Amino acid sequence: MTNIRTVIWTVRPASAEFRSVIADFLRSNTLLDDLRLDVNGVTDLSFSLDELPNLRKLEIGSNYQISASVVRKLTPVILKNSNLSSLPLRGGQEEWSQLWTLLRTRQIYLTDVSATYVGDEILAYLGSYSGIERLQLLWVDAGSETTSNRFADVFFETVLPRHTNSIVQLSCPALYECRWSFGAHNAHVIGRLQRVSKLEMTVNCEDVPDEQSVVHSGENAVERILQLAAQLPALRNLGIFASDCEGNREAECGNPSMDHEETVSAGISAVVRDFRPCVSSPAIVVAGHEICEIQTAGTDPDFYLSTCRGADMSRYKLGCERSDASGNLQNCIAHD
């Protein structure tokens, strides 16, 4: 098993001896350049991964909060890999803040970043260089609408413009409605992403036309982003989603959130069905309850947005990527 390049390891709290065996195997494999760690429920790591100098991708994930001790143990692994280009982080919030500062000061510039928490440190890091290609800031929330809006303005006004010539995938949906969502305030910078092939964003309910709503802004963010899609020549996947409303932040059950998402998704779908494009686009659009591709009236006079019949929904889930099968034994999955 000397030609393994990718290892996917689900680390469990027990079996310390077996974890050490796997760690020894990783350190002995000189071709390993892609390590994906799932550290669900692990509060401390009883092994060292410091001697893995050839990693190009390190993915660290958890469905729960990642403990500070785990972050401290894995931070040296990240900093010692000068060729690291991809760092997807799932789980953990402020615990990763120092890492972004260290990456910035040591000038380790990644081309593929994924995070589930946005703060001053990661924004300072992303704004310190140009050239990022894939950026996922999934379900962004800073604890309040005011703080989320501040971070969003920094991102769209000073960070994203540094990467407009390189970025090919951008996902930045907001957990609660705020200025992270697509609208008139950030359409100008999104329109500059001429290389982007995959774009996923939320829209706020006030920017989705609804005859029964008393808070409609007069803006139609769904129509605007559909029009924008035809101006992005590389775009192949466009996702338009609903965020929860700020008023549901303290809700004790999930029903208000589900009702709000359903209402906004229905509004998004209505706009999509009524949209009349002037220019066709090869992009697959996932919006509300619709999966479609944009076609002009000249292509199909009776159906402007042609529904993709039999479309595989799993291909278009938020934040997911299609994976290619390989006939070679290059991947290893370990569960302890």
Per-residue pLDDT reduced to its tens digit, 249-290: 887 777 888 898 999 999 999 998 888 877 778 888 999 888
In this structure, the dihedral spanned by the alpha carbons of residues 17, 18, 24 and 28, taken in order and rounded to 10 degrees, is 160
| pLDDT of 291 above 90 | no
For the chain, the structural domain boundaries read 139-318
From residue 289, give the alpha-carbon distance in Å to each of 71, 132, 262, 265, 310.
Answer: 39, 31, 9, 7, 14
pTM to 2 decimal places: 0.85
Q: What percent of the chain has pLDDT over 70?
A: 84
Query: What average pLDDT does range 115-123 have in this prediction?
Result: 93
- Burial of residue 217 (CB within 10 Å: 0-12, 13-18, 19+) is middle
5 backbone dihedrals φ, ψ, rounded to 5°: -110, -25
Separation of alpha carbons 183 and 188, rounded Å: 9
From residue 245, give the alpha-carbon distance in Å to each of 205, 240, 262, 263, 315.
Answer: 8, 16, 12, 11, 27
What is the residue-averaged pLDDT of the chain? 83
The two beta strands, 6-10 and 34-38, are parallel
Q: Which residue has the higher pLDDT, 329 or 114?
A: 114
- pLDDT tens-place string over residues 154-174: 999 999 999 999 999 999 999
